[in-house]
Chain A
Amino acid sequence: MNDERIIELFFERSEDAIKALDDKYGKVFFSLSFRILNDRFEAEECVADSYLGTWNAIPPARPDPLVAFVCKIVRNISLKRYERKVTAKRDSRYDVAMEELEDCLSSSMTVEEEIEERELTGLIEAFLDSLSRENRVIFLRRYWFSDSYADIAKQVGLTEKNVSVRLARLRKQLRNYLSEREALI
């Protein structure tokens, strides 16, 4: 079933919409949530919550692309749940991915004023635009979806080692990019 038809089902308030959405993209949403939470049960709950969120959002929203719209909901809900359950044990892939970014972003100096999140989003988008399509996908698969190197390698058709090297370069590129724009001190 195509996305437009699924959205129509949401507009018709048909519960088949959830089933169709789950059939088509359920695995994407689950793996996204699982990589953040590292807990199968909680990931399933988050996906279910996300479907409810989607149900409430459509209508009036008519998202295009649908999958990205729901992915964002899944990610937000999963991250909120993650915040709540954070313990001393840091073991999810999200943690590992974020640790990589900490090394890239933080410095010994303190930032006087944090850059506005919205501005930062704009900077990130501009940074993403400056990348090749393949690098952009690699970056997002790692830091938006928290994919493992192996998963990314499989998706983009590179070796794991290659993905690792690319990501290291991209982090360096990101750091330079943000530094040049004074988003980092």
Chain B
Amino acid sequence: MTAKNFSNALGNIGEGYVDEAVRYTPKRKRSPWVKWGSIAACMLLILTGVILGDLLHSADAPNDGVASYFVITAHAANGESTELSFASSSCFNSGTAQGNIFGVDMPTFNFSVKPSDLKNNEVLYERFDILISYNGIQVGATDKNEHIMVFYLVHREPSDEPWAWSVSGWFTEPTDLVVRIVDKESRETVETITVNVKYLADKQEYELKITELNTKFAQQKRAVDANNFLMSILLARNGADYPAWFGGCYIEDDKLYVKLVSPTEEEFKSISDALAYFDDVVVFESAERSMAELQAYADQTAAELMQFGYDVTSWYVDSITGNIVISVLEKDLEVATAWVTYSKESGKDPQVVVEIGEYTVPDSQAIEFCADPFLQNNSLSWMYSINVKIDNEKIYLNEILYDQVSYIDNLELDFSQLAPGPYVNEKITEVLDRISSQKGCYLLKTQSESSCGKELAMYVIDDTYYFVRFFDNGSIMRIHSGSVK
């Protein structure tokens, strides 16, 4: 075959491919800011404990009598949102959409947006405490009325394909979002609007109501844009690693504060030139430690606490203070704080703050959770929780009924594709060994579409439950664990 043969054949490909290439505009890069926001949101999600006694009695279990609270955890770190496809081509009204989050298929969502006279405009996000993805969707599991997801669908032009704009956030109450309407040609802001969103549990639908027109968030938006731009620069120049001069950044009072750690003249000029367009909202300040150093220290400290047997729920670097914040279950607060305090060799170490990381959900049976062990497939990059509920001897995972529970003797598992990482320690290795050595497990199945998959293996070992989730091809996606109290 010659290139000419190939070129001729290439010339005959479907027009859809050509059209896509003509119209393609790059996705906005997902910034670490959003990534960490996402993690924070996920952390809020990680929860849930239930009583399994009824299930165990009904499932012909050998561990008869083990019945108590247990905890489910879920994991992830980062990831890219992916395309959203539509079951409905209607614009900015109502319909059904099927999302795909970080490579994980999500259930079909119903949506309704009012009024419908906003078509032919773009809708941009405004609030920086809301996670958003461009031309895609970024959502997570919902739990009763605690978490709310919203998104918008718009046409840029009647002849164009539908564009999806999504806004997702995690709220405890019906919440106002602010969106901006932009003129297609001039790119000038035409108007900003406030949209109230809430999850209608009975309809399993997210309702959006425009409640107020206003223009007060323009400055915030500019600071967020500056932040996103900075992150895209860092990403382009340094990949996933932060440069040594970068000490973090945060938004406060509608300004983006960028921390610099002894930058060279060249480095400072480079970053200040790059951010010159945003000089009205960018403030540089000096910092003692780089973000890379702080993150590494946070990871290491959390891993050490886990190895000592403390139940760590989350950890992060506070960009404003430069402190490392580690959350543990309340029972471990005192000892973990003491350990952190006394383990510091000198005042040179970053400040570590230990907090209580217990999250409970009103009216649920969840009491606490921990994030250990962290185990998931290499290809995954995002935390995902399982909400487990037992009701009338039936088990529900993320509200989906798993109506087939059986006990099987020989399920072969291949752990080789689970990710190694800073969290993999002897304890995790031991967990894998314990699961591998089990003679049998429960198999939970459902015929419904479920974000947890149609089949999971559940192991009950001593005082811990393990949920093993699978990809469609049978390989292991991730393992969730929970301790029996």
**Chain B residues, Cβ within 8 Å of A99:** 3
Q: Chain B residues with Cβ under 8 A from A125's Cβ?
A: 13-14, 17
Of B3, B26, B157, the residue contacting A155 (CB under 8 A) is: B26
Partner of A63, one of B2, B15, B17, B27: B15
Given contacts A67-B22, A68-B22, A124-B9, contact A98 B17 (CB under 8 A): no
Closest to B28 in A: A157
**A117: which of B12, B16, B19, B20 is its contact (CB, 8 Å)?**
B12
Instruction: Decide: A68 near B5, CB < 8 A? Known: A75-B11, A76-B11, A144-B10.
Output: no
Closest CB-CB distance, A162 to chain B, in whole Å? 9
In the complex, A143 has a CB within 8 A of chain B: yes
Across-interface contacts of A98 in B (CB, < 8 A): 3-4, 7
Within 8 A of B (CB), among A86-115: 98-99, 101-102, 105-106, 111, 114-115
Q: How many residues of B contact A (CB 8 A)?
A: 32
B342 contacts the other chain (CB 8 A): no
Complexed CA–CA distance, A112 and B124 (Å): 56
Return chain B residues, CB-CB under 8 Å to A79. Answer: 7, 11
Q: A79-B7, A124-B9, A134-B26 are in contact. Are A141 and B21 (CB under 8 A)?
A: yes
Is the CB–CB distance between B11 and A133 below 8 Å? no
Beyond A114-B1, A144-B13, 19 additional pairs, beta carbon < 8 A:
A2-B158, A4-B158, A65-B19, A68-B18, A69-B15, A71-B22, A76-B11, A99-B3, A102-B2, A106-B3, A111-B1, A120-B5, A120-B9, A121-B12, A124-B13, A125-B17, A128-B13, A133-B83, A134-B26
Chain B, residue nearest A71 (CB): B18
Q: Mark B405-424, 1 if CB is under 8 A from A, else 0.
A: 00000000000000000000
**Interface 0/1 of A125-157, CB less than 8 Å to B:** 100100001101100110111000000000111
Decide if B17 touches A120 in the complex (CB within 8 Å).
no
Chain B residues near A72 (CB-CB < 8 A): 11, 15, 18
In the assembly, what is the distance between CA of A155 and CA of B23, in Å?
10
- Out of B18, B29, B157, name the residue touching A144 (CB < 8 Å): B18
Does chain B have a CB within 8 A of A184?
yes
Instruction: For A106, give the chain B residue with the smallest CB separation.
Output: B2
Interface of B is mostly: helix
Q: Does A118 contact B (CB under 8 A)?
A: yes
- Proximity bits, A43-75, B CB within 8 Å = 1, else 0: 000000000000000000001010111011001
CA of A79 to CA of B4, assembled, Å: 10
Neighbouring A residues of B437 by C-beta, 8 Å: none
B137 → chain A closest CB, angstroms: 15
Chain A residues contacting B13 (CB-CB under 8 Å) are: 121, 124-125, 128, 144
Residues of A within 8 A of B5 (CB): 114, 117, 120
Tell whether A159 is near chain B: CB-to-CB under 8 Å.
yes
**Chain B residue with Cβ nearest A116:** B9
By the criterion CB–CB under 8 Å, are B159 and A3 in contact? yes
B26 contacts A2, C-beta separation under 8 Å = no
Chain B window 256-282, contacts with chain A (Cβ cutoff 8 Å), 1 for yes, 0 for no: 000000000000000000000000000
Residues of chain B lying within 8 A (CB to CB) of residue A183: 1
- Asked whether A9 is an interface residue with its Cβ less than 8 Å from the other chain, the reply is no
0/1 per residue, A161-185, Cβ < 8 Å to B? 0000000000000000010000110
Contact A133 to B2, CB < 8 A, known contacts A65-B15, A79-B11, A159-B236:
no
